[in-house]
Amino acid sequence: MKKSFNIHHLIRPNVARLQPYSSARDEFKDVDQEMVFLDANENPFDNGVNRYPDPQQRILKSVLATQKNVQTEQILLGNGSDEVLDLLFRAFCEPNVANVLTLPPTYGMYKVLAGINAVTNREVLLTKDFELDVSEILKQQDEHSKLLFICSPNNPTGTIFNKEAVSELLEKFKGIVVIDEAYIDFSEIESWITRLSEYPNLVVTQTLSKAYGMAGIRLGICYASAEIISVLNKIKPPYNVNELTQQRALERLHNILDIKSEIEVLLKEKRKLENALADVTFIENIYASEANFILVKVDNAAKRYEQLILQGIVTRNRSNQPLCENTLRFTVGTPKENNKLITTLKSLQ
């Protein structure tokens, strides 16, 4: 449980003062009665998408709130989690003043977003076994440190972090701790969403892009205190989640059993891949993965990457990331795709 935390010290002054844009759909939302809508300059002829979408995505949020056991006021939806992460920068990080802490090797967008927003990115490497270096992270924070990004399960390593270490950071980091759970649905570990009431500085991001199989519709989800969500709501573009996305997401969320069975297949395929990779002579290490990908250390990543391309298989060479020299990342594909990867790897000279 975190005691002293005052979000008002963290918000950018211009955001705190901001009067948000009020859209037509914000100003009138009592939809119980049949109304004639002549307020938003839309084309009135119905084609399914001629009206602006609900800027607060209330139906979608209510389904998510039930499934995740949170209040709808604790949810913000974005055009992918990348938009959600960008909103966090824009709400809390004063350009050329603030800094954020990121923990490489990790997801590359945090650094890019820091660059776009003119915010210093303080990097604290993970330890050699891909754990959090808690004391070094805390040593690097100062009064301008606004966000700390913890990706768990982590991309590209696939590993998860020690729970006590994460708790300690939530207790001792003075800014907002963002836990990126893009891969949580592949893991046995409990989501940090369940701890939101204990940590007022906690933000959890999830996405429909990975386990939910909807990368194409762009839907990212942010769970946090109602206070943090209201700040993000102030600055988000009014119609940031389009109507088609809201509809497709709802359909998918109503078929949660389909998603669960796809995850089962992918996890089984991952175990199959891991077993097979152990027999490939040039693979030196297979990192324990809690996600839908496997990071492996090979003899020569550039060479193996090219050889796989020539056989029609695209993987990710992660060698430019610290602690990831000569590593390749394999996403778990369909059973057929995985078999092709295995056969090809075993045939390479």
Ligand X SMILES: *Cc1c(COP(=O)(O)O)cnc(C)c1O
What are the residues binding ligand X (CB under 6 A)? Answer: 80-82, 107, 151, 155, 180, 182, 207, 209-210, 215, 220
In the block, tokens 């210093």 appear at: 120
In sequence order, which residues have a C-beta less than 8 Å from that of residue 14 and are 6 or more positions away?
Answer: none
Nearest approach, Cβ of residue 62 and ligand X (Å):
21
Nearest approach, Cβ of residue 186 and ligand X (Å):
11
Nearer to ligand X, 91 or 249 (CB): 249
For residue 184 the two structure tokens come to: 């949580």
For residue 41 the two structure tokens come to: 């300059």
Nearer to ligand X, 7 or 214 (CB): 214
Nearest approach, Cβ of residue 89 and ligand X (Å):
14
For residues 154 and 57, what is the distance between their CA atoms, to the nearest angstrom?
A: 29
Nearest approach, Cβ of residue 155 and ligand X (Å):
4
For residues 200 and 207, what is the distance between their CA atoms, to the nearest angstrom?
A: 21
Nearest approach, Cβ of residue 245 and ligand X (Å):
12
Nearer to ligand X, 7 or 82 (CB): 82
Nearer to ligand X, 114 or 151 (CB): 151
Nearer to ligand X, 122 or 329 (CB): 329
Nearer to ligand X, 53 or 80 (CB): 80
Nearest approach, Cβ of residue 75 and ligand X (Å):
15
Largest CA distance in the chain: 70
In sequence order, which residues have a C-beta less than 8 Å from that of residue 122 and are 6 or more positions away?
Answer: 99, 100, 101, 102, 140, 145
Nearer to ligand X, 205 or 338 (CB): 205
State the Rg of the chain over Cα: 22
Instruction: Give the residue nearest to ligand X (CB).
Output: 80
Nearest approach, Cβ of residue 153 and ligand X (Å):
9
